[in-house]
Chains A and B, each alone.
Chain A
């Protein structure tokens, strides 16, 4: 057991999903892209088939959390930034969507978009502050600012404090389609999820995404190449917040509820867990992670405190033994980036 100076000089942000030999293979080649198209297609097929085997409400929950995880992973896996405060965007979007649907009587699509806008605006504020520091400090700052949002939600009038906003109407999509039926709502949620996934995929493979990767891998070099690194970081932060808001707003409509749970730090922890289990930096990782974690929590819900203990244990085990996550391992077995 020897101690080296290496950790101290390691770049703080780049190593999260490892640039070493056992890092997940990254999608570069055309072959990989073709493979990804198949995976996307498989996901779409699964979305059609799943509600026949599982409760639509369960699948919708998984999809909301998967989208939340995808948004978080956009920031971590491609921006190299570990946010410990993503619950703020998820939860605030939930409040705004719920409020818009219930109090203002907006159609669900506008209610959700309102949530997205609120999350993006909040992302701009929090992001602008947090990107002033890196690595571990970035994580602590996002956590602290999100805690501030939590206290605000606890005290503000419109959030309903401890009770939250209950009995949110699902309403009629475009003023026409009644979403009261779970199966109808499911179609909407599946479409939103797929749209979010495709958008994130586009972002990662755009020139913007390439610059992000360059920054993540070697920030000083990106600076010396003339990129305004902080603008890129802020942009990806806001995108990630907005997509987390999309997930949070949708969840509020699905469950007709917005509550403190969704702004609490434990929700920030949960999305990290989803991403960690699925595989940090694996594009499709959070989808698998959301399935595992949501299913686990549904089964364990009756056991109270055990949920927390097992979540904690999963964190520890994943960090020690299973850093690539489910999809990371799968990706290595298939020798293909996922």
Chain B
């Protein structure tokens, strides 16, 4: 909080909703994040781009407090959260959709959906969620993991929308899904943005990211190496190809 860089956003407008600075992270002895730093303003959709193993997932885990050994600063709505346990971070209004989706096998779809407690007023109602994802209503009594990959992804997103979380961290929501489903997820994200949600999206597929994001943060070996506004993406294609090795 005392850090001037954290309190003034690059654009010079209001303080960012999320400010990550000097973030270090470890798995046991292995040092994975090396001073990550980026900001996310309210209402923005920001993607984290980077190769396999760059540290995107680890960054999200560090932000939500799942990564046990972490250091540096993560300021959410002006409050330092680096030392809080993950349940307290979540209670501040942060929702996390993990890469592996984390749908529970021993819960049915409805139970999965209702599992995360409401952390803030203003979350989506069950009706609104069913309207957005009609499949979930149809299959509400099926075992969570009996859903298709796309439906599981919907479920993982939907259950966070119920909680009233303001900032949503989405880890590769399109991974391994059919193009129709990817498109549907893209629409969902744009819809959420229109509703005022702030989203951090981890992606490897920058073509998809381009359709939803305002800004792209490029990560390499646990550091931010570049930031590209969405408008400038086409102009920076070559650079991006080099970063992503595609």
Tell me, yes or no, whether A and B come into direct contact in the complex with CB atoms closer than 8 A: yes
Residues of chain A touching chain B, judged by Cβ–Cβ distance below 8 Å, are 1-2, 4, 20-21
Pairwise interchain contact A4-B68, C-beta atoms closer than 8 A? yes
- Please tell me if B85 contacts chain A, counting CB pairs below 8 Å: yes
**Minimum CB–CB distance for A69 against chain B, Å:** 31
Distance in Å from the Cβ of B29 to the closest Cβ of chain A? 7
Chain A residues, Cβ within 8 Å of B28: 20
Decide if A2 touches B68 in the complex (CB within 8 Å).
Answer: yes
- Chain B 57-88, CB-CB to A under 8 Å as 1, else 0, gives 00000000110100000000000000001100
Q: Whole-angstrom distance between the alpha carbons of A4 and B65 in the complex?
A: 10
Asked if residues B29 and A2 are in contact (CB atoms below 8 Å), the reply is no
Which 4 pairs from chain A and chain B are nearest by CB? A2-B85, A4-B68, A2-B86, A2-B68
Residues in A neighbouring B68, C-beta threshold 8 A: 2, 4
On chain B, the residues within 8 Å of A1 by CB distance are: 85
A1 to B86, CA, bound (A): 10
Interface SS majority for chain B = loop
A-side interface mostly: loop
Q: What would be 9 A-B contacts, judged by CB atoms less than 8 Å apart?
A: A1-B85, A2-B65, A2-B68, A2-B85, A2-B86, A4-B66, A4-B68, A20-B28, A21-B29
| B:68-114 near A, CB below 8 Å | 68, 85-86
Q: A2-B86, A4-B66, A20-B28 are in contact. List 6 more A-B contacts (CB 8 A).
A: A1-B85, A2-B65, A2-B68, A2-B85, A4-B68, A21-B29
Q: How close is A46's CB to chain B, nearest CB, in angstroms?
A: 39
> Chain B: interface residue count, which band?
under 10
Total inter-chain residue pairs, C-beta < 8 Å: 9
Contacts of A4 in B (CB 8 A): 66, 68
Interface hits, B203-246 → A, CB 8 Å: none
CA distance A2 to B81 in the complex (A): 14
Give the residues in chain A near B66, CB-CB below 8 Å: 4
Nearest-neighbour CB distance to chain A for B79, whole angstroms, equals: 18
Closest to A1 in B: B85
Complex contacts, B85 vs chain A, CB 8 Å: 1-2
Q: Measured between C-beta atoms, what is the minimum distance from A9 to chain B in Å?
A: 12
Min CB distance B86 to A, Å, is: 6
Which residues of A sit under 8 angstroms from B29, Cβ to Cβ? 21
A330 to B18, CA, bound (A): 49
Contacts of B86 in A (CB 8 A): 2
Within the complex, the shortest CB–CB distance from B233 to chain A, in Å, comes to 36
Minimum CB distance partner of A20 in chain B: B28
Cα(A21)–Cα(B29), bound, Å? 9
Q: How far is the CA of A25 from the CA of B29 in the complex (A)?
A: 17
Residues of A contacting B65 with CB < 8 Å?
2
Q: How far is the CB of B110 from chain A (nearest CB, A)?
A: 24
Residue of chain B at shortest CB distance from A4: B68
Closest to B68 in A: A4
Chain B residues with CB below 8 A from A21, complex form = 29
B:21-40 near A, CB below 8 Å? 28-29
* A1 CA to B66 CA, complexed, in Å: 12
In the complex, what distance in Å separates the CA atom of A21 from the CA atom of B68?
A: 17
Report B-chain residues with C-beta under 8 Å of the C-beta of A2. 65, 68, 85-86
- Measured in the bound complex, the distance between the Cα atoms of B30 and A21 in whole Å is 12
Report the Cα distance A231→B101, complex, angstroms: 39
Q: How far is the CA of A174 from the CA of B29 in the complex (A)?
A: 58
Query: What is the CA–CA distance of A256 and B67 in the complex, to the nearest angstrom?
Result: 59
Expressed in whole angstroms, the minimum distance between the Cβ of B89 and any Cβ of chain A is: 10
Closest-by-CB residue of A relative to B66 is A4
Give every chain B residue within 8 A of A20 (Cβ-Cβ): 28
B22 smallest CB distance to A (angstroms): 21
CA distance A2 to B85 in the complex (A): 6
Identify which of A2, A4, A21 gathers the most chain B CB atoms within 10 Å of its CB: A2
The residue in chain B whose Cβ has the minimal distance to the Cβ of A6 is B68
Give the distance to chain B from A31, nearest Cβ to Cβ, in Å. 25
Min C-beta distance of A11 to chain B, whole Å: 14
CB distance from B65 to the nearest CB of A (A): 7
Q: What is the CA–CA distance of A1 and B65 in the complex, to the nearest angstrom? A: 12
Residue of A nearest to B87 (CB): A2
Chain B nearest CB, measured from A2 CB (Å) = 5
